[in-house]
Amino acid sequence: MLRYLIPILVIVLHFSSPALRAQNNTGTIEGKITNVNGEPLMGINILVEGNHKGTTTNFDGIFTLNLSHLGEIKLAVSGIGFITQRVKVDLKQGDRIVINILMQDDVQGLEEIVLVSKNESTKLRESAKAVSVLETKELKLQTSNLGEVLTTIAGVNVRTGGGLGSESRFSLNGLTDDQIRFMMDGIPLDLMGYSAGIANVPINLIERIEIYKGVVPVAFGADALGGAVNLVTPKGSLNNRGSFSYQTGSFGTHRLALNGATALNNSGLFLRGSAYYDAAKNNYKVDVEVPDEQGRLNEVTVPRFHDAYNARGARATLGIKDKDWADEVSLEVFGNQYEKEIQNNNVMSIVYGEIKSEEDNYGVLGRYKNKMNTKLSLDASVGYTHREIQFTDISSYIYTWYGDRVRDNNGDIRESTPGELGSATDLLTADQNIYGRFILKYKLDDQQNFSFSSSPTYTDRDVDQRYIPEGQPEAPATINRTVFTWVNGLEYNWKSANNKIENSLFVKDYIQNVQAIKETSALPINRDRESHNLGFGNALRYKLNEQWLFKTSYEWAARLPTADEIFGNGRLIVPNLDLKPERSHNVNLEVNYNNKLSSATDWGIGMTGFLRRTEQLILLLGNDEAFSYQNVFSAVSQGIEATGFWKSENKRLGVEANVTWQDFRNQSKEGEFKNYKGDRISNRPYLFANATINYRFPKLFKSADDFNIFLGNRYVHEFYRGWESVGLKEFKDKIPSQFVQNLGFTYKLPIKNSNTALTSEIQNITNEKVYDFFGVQKPGRAFYIKLTTQF
Say which range, 48-52, 149-153, 755-759, has the weakest mean pLDDT.
Answer: 48-52
Collect contacts of 146-149 with beta carbons under 8 A, ≥24 apart. 146/198, 146/199, 146/200, 146/201, 146/202, 146/203, 146/206, 147/197, 147/198, 147/199, 147/200, 148/199, 149/203, 149/209
Kindly report the CATH class assigned to 232-790: mainly beta
Strand order in the sheet with 187-188: 131-135, 208-213, 227-232, 180-184, 187-188
315, 332 contact by CB (below 8 A): yes
Distance of CA 261 to the CA centre of its chain: 22
* pLDDT exceeds 90 at position 352: yes
* pLDDT exceeds 50 at position 107: no
- The SS3 assignment for 101 reads strand
CA proximity to 65, closest of 321, 279, 307: 321
Which string of DSSP letters, residue by residue, matches 239-284? S-EEEEEEEEETTTEEEEEEEEEEESSTTSEEEEEEEEEEEE----
Q: What is the mean pLDDT of residues 315-333?
A: 92
CA proximity to 712, closest of 172, 133, 144: 144
Distance of CA 441 to the CA centre of its chain: 25
* pLDDT exceeds 60 at position 21: no
**Residues present in the chain in total:** 791
pLDDT band at 729 (very low <50, low <70, confident <90, very high): very low
Q: Which pLDDT does position 593 carry in this prediction?
A: 93
Q: What is the mean pLDDT of residues 629-646?
A: 90
Q: Encode pLDDT of 425-455 as tens digits.
A: 888 989 999 999 999 999 999 899 999 999 9
CA proximity to 661, closest of 708, 713, 607, 590: 607
Query: Does 1-116 carry CATH code 2.60.40.1120?
Result: yes
State how far the Cα of 638 lies from the Cα of 621, in Å rounded to an integer.
Answer: 22
Domain ranges of the chain: 1-116, 232-790
Q: Which pLDDT does position 20 carry in this prediction?
A: 37
pLDDT band at 9 (very low <50, low <70, confident <90, very high): very low
Q: Encode pLDDT of 200-247 as tens digits.
A: 788 888 989 999 998 999 988 888 888 899 999 887 555 677 889 999
Cα distances from 509 to residues 301, 309, 505, 557, 569, in angstroms, run: 54, 40, 14, 10, 27
- What share of the chain in percent tops pLDDT 70? 86
State how far the Cα of 424 lies from the Cα of 472, in Å rounded to an integer.
Answer: 13
Measured between its terminal Cα atoms, the distance across the chain in Å is: 46
pTM for this one?
Answer: 0.80
Q: Which pLDDT does position 19 carry in this prediction?
A: 39
Q: Which pLDDT does position 540 carry in this prediction?
A: 96
138 vs 253, residue with greater confidence = 253
Which residues, 6+ apart, have CB-to-CB distance to 63 below 8 Å? 30, 31, 32, 33, 44, 46, 55, 56, 57, 237, 239
